[in-house]
Amino acid sequence: MMRYAHIVGWGCYLPNRLVTNDELSTMVDTTDEWIFQRTGIRTRHIAAAHETTATLAFEAAARALTVADLNPSQVELIIVATSTPEYMFPSTACKVQDYLGASRAGAFDLSAACSGFVYALQMASQSIATGAVRNAVVIGSETMSRVIDWSDRGTCVLFGDGAGAVVLKGSSVPGGVMATTLRSDGSGADLLSLPALYHNPVPIAGAEYSSNGHHKNIIDMDGRQVYRFATNVIASSIQDVLKKCELTADDIALIIPHQANTRIIEAAARKLKLPMEKFYMNVEHNGNTSAASIPLALCDAVSEGRLRPDDNIVFVGFGGGLTWAASIVKWDVTPPEISFVDHEWKRVRYIMARGRSRLRRWQRRVEANMVRSSGNNKEPGN
């Protein structure tokens, strides 16, 4: 039985455009000093007009599949954790499935805000553990820049865009995703929210409304309260998941937390009596990329050589919902050498996948026209 879900591939994508704190200080009343001291953030990436949550997710997933050496046609499940989908449906995951040409994959989005990646990892690893699928692509992808009020200095300095992905593969060898703890507390829903595009008839207390009575499609956050919540749940969820695995903090090589604010992690480290070196941080470069932040940090940790085979690592996420989650993963791969030719050849595969997709769309249109012109377009019951 292939019941252990191992991470065998990882990939990330960041848009080219880099926005510095100084640039933000020309837009709102802030300074590089304030932002860096209070959050640890110096820069963030912002998606170009032609980029979407789905295109970012596709880029990250394609890279992860290259590392995993897995053909898209073999992928069985795609989960995209995101709070910034383009549509309620089709899901971002379905768009990624199409871009990849992953013709045999089930695909859906998962909404758990900044904890989304850890939630999705758990869903995918359990699907592998039960034998429902043999592999899965788990992606965290966000275009936070599209849901920010760029005149609100309390939030616009915090967030960034990006995507990270991992490929999970079933194996009979013990390892991979070992234990996970998922938690939520909906009584804190008003502390951090992003209304859906069309208004919800039952408003959340404290959520913002535009003058026509509809929700504004922007993030609303009570920073101080979320800060307090985060420092508590990071420590408790790490302790919880360690207990599930019968491990202690000494057995953990690296903790990769959701990258929201360096001060939050420093406070959590103090609570856990752990040195900051145990925590991997890259919030300085990417800002808070919500569900994408953990897989983005994982990619950086791997490329900096911070992970070795047999290391136990912890992912810990926290955010809107309120939600929080932690996972222990045994890291058991060494990054493969990928030649330029191999990489480029795999890109050709995706151009072909887009061609096939276009062809299918065209075929559907032709068939619909043929049915119409043959007079077979009567309403049911007519």
Phi, psi of 217 (to 5 degrees): -85, 55
Q: Is 258 a catalytic residue?
A: yes
Q: What is the DSSP letter of 304?
A: T
Nearest distance in Å: CB 41, ligand UT7: 9
Q: Which residues pair with 182 in a beta bridge?
A: 325
Catalytic entry in 6, 258, 282, 286: 258
25 contact partners, CB below 8 Å, separation of at least 6:
31, 32
The pairing of beta strand 254-257 with beta strand 311-319: parallel
Taking the least distance from each CB to ligand UT7, the nearer of 14 and 233 is 233
Q: What is the DSSP letter of 379?
A: P
Catalytic entry in 135, 282, 288, 312: 288
Nearest distance in Å: CB 288, ligand UT7: 5
168, 177 Cβ separation under 8 angstroms: yes
| Rounded (10°) angle between helices 92-100 and 340-373 | 110
Q: Which residues pair with 193 in a beta bridge?
A: 220
Nearest distance in Å: CB 221, ligand UT7: 6
Nearest distance in Å: CB 53, ligand UT7: 16
Q: How far apart are CA 230 and CA 222, in angstroms?
A: 12
DSSP letters for 333-346: --PPP--HHHHHHH
Nearest distance in Å: CB 265, ligand UT7: 10
Which residue's Cβ has the minimum distance to ligand UT7? 223
Catalytic entry in 114, 135, 156, 299: 114
Q: Is 288 a catalytic residue?
A: yes
Q: Is 245 a catalytic residue?
A: no
Taking the least distance from each CB to ligand UT7, the nearer of 178 and 226 is 226
Taking the least distance from each CB to ligand UT7, the nearer of 224 and 273 is 224
3-state secondary structure of 17: strand
Select from 291, 313, 292 the least CA-distant residue to 302: 313
The residues of the shown chain that bind ligand UT7, judged by CB under 6 A, are 30, 34-35, 38-39, 114, 153-154, 157, 192, 223-224, 226-227, 230, 260-261, 264, 288, 290, 319
Residue 89 tokens, joined: 């449906």
Taking the least distance from each CB to ligand UT7, the nearer of 154 and 203 is 154
Taking the least distance from each CB to ligand UT7, the nearer of 4 and 318 is 318
Q: Which residues are known to be catalytic?
A: 114, 258, 288
